[in-house]
């Protein structure tokens, strides 16, 4: 587990979204915070939070990297993947790429929101919104 | 500036306001088909003989004719013929038109055989218009043909014609077998940007050899409705997706006679498909060479930044509110150039621009002259 502390533990903008074990390594998990949809990705133990809606057609980005319906029957191929090295995800619906650290899409030439993630020593996970 | 009332030809019913507006016609044809008109500009005796006897090499066409004119021989030129500056000047005054961009009528040249002969005809045509047609004082400008079947010769022809007064662009055709984003046209694009000349592309023949879909159509009206439009769209998309405008940001392309209302459809669809397959563009020749993975802008942006569209044949919705919306979606005030297509049977006099509450004065002025002045440097 990587302890990610960027803000004081008394930062009122930190919102608890779960525990570290709720966010399995190598995949995305969708969370809701009020009206906000956030996709949390655990890459090599480090958590990234990005807006969970592709600006193209509002696909849930947290599904990037997950298996698709019956994908094993079509050779296991599916659109949308996580590039662990570049920390990029691909939208599961049409494949637009987003940088998990900056929210930038090289195609759109603009950003979607990303959030700082705080992993507290007791294993609680919060995002700063 | 008032042009005064026309002396004759009130039959076309051009409204009075048109005589107060400065109007540039961005697609006016010089139907120079008779070889004797330009033989004097061909020096090589072998070429001269071939052209004298055989005329312009015949295009590989689908056999389309417009049999509703009085005579088949005149089936395209239903409004008449004007071959020299004085004739054009007299003619344009009848239609409240102040300036014309003269283009050739030889639309089947790209598909015709004998490229050497065609190159000679191109040069002769260009020399002819410089000598006998262009008259800047009277608002008569010309487009120099580029022999698109021979990209190196295109560059030579631009070099030869670039300093001629009144040459305001080069003429090519969006015929089915030519896509102007091809890397072979790289030098031509570079030269055009350097000389600040637009590439003006007109529809070409409904060719049987290359346009299989067009050739399968059973009537000329089907082909005229769609064939040119989709060939124009193919060229616009090819220019965009091959990164032509990323490498040549200042290249301007004018699409003639493909209509206008497809622009929102094609630009939105281009964006939509690019969303789905953005990695495809890096495999085009130019993008691959430059190491660019993605376009610098969304595809739709090039439709409005680098392209212009002549209006004929205008196809307006009946409801003026829809006209307004359509023009907004096409960004007509930045991209449309009024054109007549004189003297063909799809001729559009400028009357549609007036008395339509869907077209405001400012937009009308841009379409009548503002955009043409900008792109042609008039």
Q: Beta A46-51 vs A36-43: how paired, if at all? A: antiparallel
What is the pLDDT at residue B4? Answer: 52
CATH code assigned to B19-376: 3.20.20.140
- Asked if the ipTM is above 0.95, the reply is no
Count CB pairs under 8 A between chains A and B. Answer: 21
Categorise residue A101: left if φ over 0, alpha if ψ from -120 to 50, beta otherwise. Answer: alpha
The nearest CA of chain A is from the CA of B304 a distance in Å of 17
- Name chain B contacts of A95, Cβ cutoff 8 Å: 276-279
From the list A96, A106, A109, the residue facing B275 with the nearest CB is A96
8 Å CB contact of B275 and A109: no
Hunting for tokens 């980005």 — which residue is that? A61
Instruction: Tell me if chain A has a CB within 8 Å of the CB of B268.
Output: no
pLDDT of residue A2: 61
Domain spans, chain B: 19-376
**Which residue of chain B comes nearest to A91, CA vs CA?**
B276
Average pLDDT over residues A2-25: 77
pLDDT, residue A93, reads 87
Q: In this predicted structure, what is the pLDDT of residue A5?
A: 56
CB atoms B298 and A108 under 8 Å = yes
Rounded to the nearest 5 percent, the helix, strand and coil shares of chain B are 50, 10, 40
Q: Could you report how far apart the first and last alpha carbons of chain B are, in Å?
A: 17
pTM metric for this prediction: 0.88
Instruction: Write down the pLDDT at residue B55.
Output: 85
Question: Which of B276, B297, B298 lies closest to A94 in CB terms?
Answer: B276
Distance CA B332, CA A1 (A): 58
In this prediction, residue A77 carries a pLDDT of 59
Model pLDDT for residues A20-36, shown as the tens digit of each residue: 999 999 999 999 999 99
- What domains are defined for chain A? 14-61+77-128 (2.102.10.10)
Q: Provide block-wise average pLDDT over 10 residues at a time, chain B (378 residues).
A: 50 79 96 86 95 83 58 64 92 91 88 92 97 97 97 98 98 88 97 98 74 76 85 96 98 97 98 93 95 96 98 96 98 98 88 94 98 97
Name which of A42-46, A85-89, B211-215, B225-229 the model is least confident about: B211-215
Tally of residues, chain A: 129
Residue B73 is predicted with a pLDDT of 54
So what's the pLDDT on residue A95? 86
Buried b (16+ CB within 10 A) or exposed e, A90-122: bbbbbbbbbbbeebbbebbeeebebbbbbbbee
CB-based contact, A58 to chain B, within 8 Å: no
Check if A107 contacts B (Cβ < 8 Å): yes
Strands ordered across the beta sheet of A97-99? A82-83, A88-90, A97-99
Beta bridge partners of A41: A28, A48
pLDDT at B66: 58
Q: Which residues of B295-316 are buried (b: 16+ CB within 10 A; e: fewer)?
A: beebbbbbbeebbbbbbbbbeb
Q: What distance in Å separates the CA atoms of residue B97 and residue A14, rounded to the nearest whole number?
A: 68
| CA distance linking residue B190 with residue A59, whole number of Å | 41
User: What is the largest distance, in Å, between two alpha-carbon atoms of chain A?
Assistant: 50
Q: Per the structure block, which two tokens stand in for B223?
A: 């082909």
| Partner residue opposite A56 with nearest CB, options B275, B294, B296 | B275
């Amino acid at each position: 587990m990587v302890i990610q502390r960027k803000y004081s533990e008394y930062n009122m903008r930190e919102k608890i979204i779960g525990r570290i074990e709720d966010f399995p390594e190598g995949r995305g998990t969708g969370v809701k915070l009020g009206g906000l949809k956030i996709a949390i990705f655990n890459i090599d133990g480090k958590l990234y939070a990005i807006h969970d809606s592709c600006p193209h057609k509002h696909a849930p980005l947290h599904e990037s990297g997950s298996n698709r319906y019956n994908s094993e029957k079509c050779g296991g191929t599916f659109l949308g993947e996580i590039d662990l090295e570049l920390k990029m995800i691909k939208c599961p619906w049409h494949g637009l790429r987003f940088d998990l650290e900056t929210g930038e899409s090289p195609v759109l030439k603009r950003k979607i929101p990303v959030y700082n993630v705080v992993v507290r020593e007791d294993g609680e996970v919060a995002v700063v919104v | 500036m008032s042009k005064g009332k026309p002396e004759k030809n009130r039959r076309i019913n051009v409204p009075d306001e048109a005589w107060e507006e400065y109007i540039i016609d961005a697609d006016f044809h010089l139907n120079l088909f008779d070889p004797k008109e330009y033989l004097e500009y061909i020096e090589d005796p072998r070429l001269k003989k071939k052209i004298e006897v055989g005329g312009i090499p015949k295009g590989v066409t689908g056999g389309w004719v417009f049999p509703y004119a009085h005579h088949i021989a005149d089936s395209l030129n239903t409004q008449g013929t004007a071959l020299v500056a004085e004739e054009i000047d007299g003619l344009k005054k009848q239609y409240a038109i102040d300036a014309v961009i003269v283009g050739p009528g030889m639309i089947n040249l790209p598909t015709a055989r004998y490229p050497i002969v065609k190159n000679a005809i191109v040069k002769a045509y260009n020399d002819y218009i410089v000598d006998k047609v262009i008259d800047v004082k009277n608002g008569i400008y010309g487009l120099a043909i580029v022999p698109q079947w021979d990209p190196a010769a295109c560059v030579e022809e631009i070099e030869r014609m670039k300093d001629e007064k009144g040459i305001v662009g080069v003429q090519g055709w969006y015929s089915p077998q030519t896509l102007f984003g091809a890397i072979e046209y790289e030098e031509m694009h570079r030269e055009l940007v350097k000389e600040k000349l637009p590439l003006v592309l007109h529809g070409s023949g409904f060719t049987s050899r290359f346009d299989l879909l067009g050739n399968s159509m059973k009537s000329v009206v089907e082909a005229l409705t769609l064939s040119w439009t989709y060939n124009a769209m193919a060229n616009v998309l090819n220019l965009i997706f091959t990164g032509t405008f990323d490498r040549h940001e200042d290249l301007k392309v004018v699409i003639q006679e493909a209509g206008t209302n497809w622009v929102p459809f094609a630009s939105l669809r281009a964006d939509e498909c690019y969303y789905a397959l953005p990695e495809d563009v890096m495999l085009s020749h130019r993008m691959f060479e430059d190491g660019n993975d993605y376009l610098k802008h969304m595809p739709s942006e090039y439709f409005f930044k680098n392209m212009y569209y002549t209006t004929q044949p205008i196809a307006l919705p009946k409801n003026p509110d829809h006209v307004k919306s359509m023009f907004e979606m096409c960004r007509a005030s930045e991209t449309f150039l009024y054109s007549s297509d004189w003297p063909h049977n799809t001729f559009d006099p400028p009357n549609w621009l007036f008395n339509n509450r869907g077209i405001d004065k400012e937009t009308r002025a841009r379409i009548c002259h503002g955009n043409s002045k900008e792109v042609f440097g008039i």
